[in-house]
Structure 1
Amino acid sequence: MTALPFYDAEESEFYGMCVEDLIRRRLRSHGSALKLVELGVGTAKTICGVLRRVSSSIHVHGFEIDEASYRNASSNILDHALEDRYRLTHADFFEAMDGLAPSGCLISNPPYLPALDADIRLPHLWGGEQGDHISRRAISMGFPQVLLMLSSFANPLGMLRWARAHGYALVHWVARPIEFGDYSNEPKVRQRISELAAMGYSFITDDSYLLIGATWSRDGFSGDRSLELARLIRSHSRPALPDDVDPFASLVHEEV
């Protein structure tokens, strides 16, 4: 029997809130629809819920590489009668986008569990050795706007610097604490998180981390809020790091 695609209600609800807020802010500021491209749709339940609450002018093109997830998502979209607004493509997002000019806003709750290899309970949640590999690739695509969910245990300061180096300003963010769950508490994953914390790349308390909805834009740097978010991230650590330390002092510079 094929296992159902992974779905975490708390995290998915927060992701949906961030996407809905992005759409509503766009409609208020520009009065026009925003084209959304989604990297990894999972069950599609989250974005189905968003689309039912916002203007019918909003359309999403989602990419899902996993066949079981794609089938499940397609069924959920049909159940919500959203097939005319939520288009799915069963493909590797990065391969499908190769050679195409990115447009609109890329949204994603990407995999971010760190481990030295993908041999973990749910391999499709593996985000590379530091948990930020897929997020960095997403930023490197060059979409005009990007909304990603970041974890404070997956090299978040490195992600902020990576985005700035690729011409993005962090224009909006929202964060909430999340308790470690079954998959982030898997011994192999938790050990790697502890190693990253010791190196200054992971920011956690004994039982929680921060989940952040971060929106970047290439429209200019006048409103960049990276430093503001970096300070919050650094405060979510045990023990708390001093305020007078440059939050961008030690970051990873590896290439994707």
Structure 2
Amino acid sequence: MLTQKTLKDVFYCPEESEFYSRCIKELVLKQCNKSEIIVEFGAGDGIPAIKSLLETKFKGKIYGFELNDSAYEVAESNVRKHELDSKYIVKNQSFFSSQIPNAEYLISNPPYLPAIDNNIYQPLLHGGIDGSEIARKLLSLSYENVLLMVSSYSNPQSLIEYAKSNGYSTGNFIISPLKFGYYSCEPKVKSTILEMQEQGLAFYSENIYLLAGVLFTRNQVAVDLSSELIQIMTSL
């Protein structure tokens, strides 16, 4: 049974996790033609990566990094349960201060809740004042390919333009409408989102926002989809 304590300890949103898993599968794992290494910032309970591994023939390894002790324990249990110990290695360490394996891909559903500080239900879900701070940090690490979940209420246009300024093109993306949930409806977060909407930095309609799985790449692409992505993400 889910309780407020459970939701406070480990991120729980089945719809968002399912969408993240779909993005990993379609935008990354199905495109890997060799035994590549993938690193993941924020493994959470591990379910998105596990589900995508079970549904593809990916022959490489995913190294997930999860700072939340409770989430790490759940992820480890889920990995063992699905007998994926050799393909999905989850570490209870900070991604930014750990020895990270060389990898072709960095994947993440990064914290994107905007708020003035991290004094919220789950402090590790805080994405900075406009929600895009962690995503920007990940895009500054010079990985060739970066899969990020990008929220329409977390200053998406500025984030996409920041990616371009760092040499990335939008190679592909998938978008899904989601309802505001337990974490985004916290008054402190929701009031920040409202202020951002008034400033033209957040885009949503009633109780719906858009979440995009975006593959940012430094590799040459036939068409850079950045403009199309911005148009969709700012349309609500």
Q: Which has the higher contact order (CA 8 A, sep 6+)?
A: 2
Q: What is the percentage of aligned positions where both structures have the same residue?
A: 35
Shift of 1:44: 0.4
Q: Secondary structure at the match of 1:12?
A: helix
Query: Is the CA contact (8 Å cut-off) linking 1:139 and 1:146 kept in structure 2?
Result: yes
Q: Which residue of 2 aligns with 1:12?
A: 17
C-alpha RMSD of matched pairs (Å): 1.8
Q: Which amino acid aligns with 1:175?
A: I
1:108-119 alignment, distance < 5 Å: 108-119=108-119
Shift of 1:49: 1.2
Distance in 2, Cα, partners of 1:47 & 1:221 = 26
Q: Which amino acid aligns with 2:26?
A: D
Structure 1 residues 79 and 101: alpha-carbon distance in aligned structure 2, compared to 1, 3 A threshold: closer
Q: Which residue of 1 aligns with 2:93?
A: 91
Distance in 1, Cα, partners of 2:71 & 2:13 = 14
Residue 224 in structure 1 maps to residue 224 in structure 2? yes
Shift of 1:66: 1.4
User: What is the count of residue pairs matched by the alignment?
Assistant: 231
Query: Is the CA contact (8 Å cut-off) linking 2:10 and 2:45 kept in structure 1?
Result: yes
Residue 139 in structure 1 maps to residue 144 in structure 2? no
Distance in 2, Cα, partners of 1:188 & 1:55 = 43
Shift of 1:223: 2.1
TM-score by length of 2: 0.92
Structure 1 residues 21 and 72: alpha-carbon distance in aligned structure 2, compared to 1, 3 A threshold: same
Which has the higher Rg, Structure 1 or Structure 2? 1
Q: Which residue of 2 aligns with 1:65?
A: 67
1:182-217 deviations in Å (ceiling 9; x for gaps): 211111111100111111111111111100000011
Query: Is the CA contact (8 Å cut-off) linking 2:35 and 2:58 kept in structure 1?
Result: no
1:32-51 alignment, distance < 5 Å: 32-51=34-53
Query: Is the CA contact (8 Å cut-off) linking 1:23 and 1:34 kept in structure 2?
Result: no
Q: Which amino acid aligns with 1:94?
A: F
Query: Is the CA contact (8 Å cut-off) linking 1:102 and 1:144 kept in structure 2?
Result: no
TM-score by length of 1: 0.85
Q: Which amino acid aligns with 2:85?
A: E
Structure 1 residues 234 and 164: alpha-carbon distance in aligned structure 2, compared to 1, 3 A threshold: same
Distance in 2, Cα, partners of 1:45 & 1:234 = 30
Q: Secondary structure at the match of 2:158?
A: helix
Q: Secondary structure at the match of 1:106?
A: strand
Distance in 2, Cα, partners of 1:209 & 1:154 = 10
